[in-house]
């Protein structure tokens, strides 16, 4: 018995009708624009400005600012904080909360939601309230490292 051959579908069979009300696919979230990232990066860089004189700047480019302690820690310079522009977000790294996790106790749920891992916070736009809280956390970290003799 010969097998039935499959016919190629006609163009009419390939046309799918969209349901009333638009596409059946969920709408994709729009990524923030370059301006939002630039504002976030500028806001995060401003948090690090008060510490530039007391720390060593190891990277200062349009896309990043990285600060290290001038005192060696276990034979190497200790990373304090930095901010970098990634593809989809702007990251703020704060090493004191990695070394001393108790410094981060009591952060707001909104800031905790931005936290990735132990010492990184990611932003897609400028958020003045969260940046103010992050600035206080940075100051606490700096004072704590200073008391421990690490800066």
Render pLDDT for 42-99 as a digit per residue (tens, 0 to 9): 999 999 999 999 999 999 998 899 999 988 888 888 999 999 998 888 999 999 999 9
In which domain, by residue range, is 64 found?
A: 32-147
Residue 139 lies in a domain: yes
Residue 8 lies in a domain: no
Residue 41 lies in a domain: yes
Of the candidates 121, 119, 122, the one whose C-alpha atom is nearest the C-alpha of residue 141 is 119
Is a pLDDT exceeding 50 seen at residue 14? no
CATH number where 125 lies: 3.90.1150
Residue 11 lies in a domain: no
Residue 21 lies in a domain: no
Give the separation between CA 114 and CA 123, rounded to whole angstroms.
Answer: 7
Residue 83 lies in a domain: yes
- Predicted TM-score (pTM) of the model is 0.75
Residue 17 lies in a domain: no
Contact indicator for 12, 105 with CB cutoff of 8 Å: no
How many domains does the chain contain in total?
Answer: 1
């Amino acid at each position: 018995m010969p097998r039935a051959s499959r016919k190629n579908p006609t163009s009419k069979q390939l046309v799918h009708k969209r349901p009333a009300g638009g596409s059946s696919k969920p709408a994709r979230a729009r990524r923030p624009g370059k301006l939002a990232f630039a504002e976030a990066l500028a806001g995060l860089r401003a948090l690090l400005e008060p510490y530039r004189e007391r720390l060593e700047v190891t990277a200062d480019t349009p896309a990043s600012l990285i600060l290290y302690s001038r005192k060696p820690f276990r034979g190497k310079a200790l990373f304090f904080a930095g901010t970098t522009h990634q593809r989809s977000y702007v990251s703020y790294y704060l090493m004191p909360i990695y070394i001393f996790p108790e410094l981060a106790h009591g952060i707001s749920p909104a800031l905790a939601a931005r936290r990735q891992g132990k010492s990184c916070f990611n932003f897609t736009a400028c958020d003045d309230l969260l940046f103010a809280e992050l600035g206080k956390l940075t100051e606490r970290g700096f004072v704590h490292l200073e008391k421990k003799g690490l800066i």
